[in-house]
Amino acid sequence: MIIVAGLGNPGPKYQGNRHNIGFMAADEIASRWRFGPERAKFQSVIREGEVETANGPVKVLLMKPQTFMNESGRAVGEAARFYKVKPSEVIVFHDEIDLAPGRFRMKTGGGAAGQNGVRSMISQLGPDFRRGRMGVGHPGDPQLVHGHVLSDFHKADLVWLEPMLRAVADAVPFALAGDDERYQAEVMRLAPAAKFSPRQTAQNAARSED
């Protein structure tokens, strides 16, 4: 059993937010691999499925915590304890402002880097879970970060957002087989990100507020 958790905030108000890119990734994975129907468990919306990997079929519990971002760890920690899975068997997808829009990186361990959902995960699981860091860019001013992540993606972002979500789902067998390096490379091969300067990122953020 592998737990795959997408981080975000519940409810239609937040549905299109940059902060909800983890929820979007979870939905794309569920759709791509034809997971079972949604149901409520572990303070989350969950779906269960099986994905064929190079090492054979892997059972997956897909979670979208409904605790709001800052308490995501409570939900995932509850599921991890129930199934007795190790931190290395938990993959968390979340937004990452320190990566340019469309960039994708896998990481195991380390700190939260200001991401409150990740901080909550660390409090429940320790640091050694696996993270799918999905770049949403930085607005250029630390005081604008809160508004940036809680604002919706701009239409212009769809040129990289939709391909990245598809790539994250299509290549997920590599992650489920434990090959994070291959997974990261495959996601970026399938969805090569456009290059953005910090100024362009800030301009895109400003447009999304209009």
Asked if 64 and 30 touch (Cβ cutoff 8 Å), the reply is: no
Number of other CB atoms surrounding residue 127 within 10 Å: 14
Whose tokens are 């409570």? That residue is 74
At residue 16, the pLDDT reads: 97
Three-class DSSP category at 136: coil
DSSP string, 23-74: HHHHHHHHHHTT----EEETTEEEEEEEEEETTEEEEEEEEEESS-GGGHHH
Q: What confidence category does residue 197 fall into, taking pLDDT thresholds of 50, 70 and 90?
A: very low
What tens digit of pLDDT does each residue of 83-116 get? 999 999 999 999 999 999 999 999 999 999 889 9
Tokens of 58: 């892997």
Tell me whether strands 56-65 and 2-6 are parallel, antiparallel or unpaired: parallel
What tens digit of pLDDT does each residue of 164-192 get? 999 999 999 999 999 999 999 999 999 99
Q: What is the CATH number of the domain that holds 183?
A: 3.40.50.1470
Instruction: Quote the CA–CA distance of 149 and 79 in Å, as a whole number.
Output: 27
Q: What total of structural domains would you count in the chain? A: 1
The phi and psi torsions of 17 (rounded to 5 degrees) equal -65, 150
Is it the case that residue 207 has pLDDT exceeding 90?
A: no
Residues of the domain holding 87: 2-209
At residue 206, the pLDDT reads: 47
Mean pLDDT of 30-47: 98
Reply yes or no on whether 19 is catalytic. Answer: yes
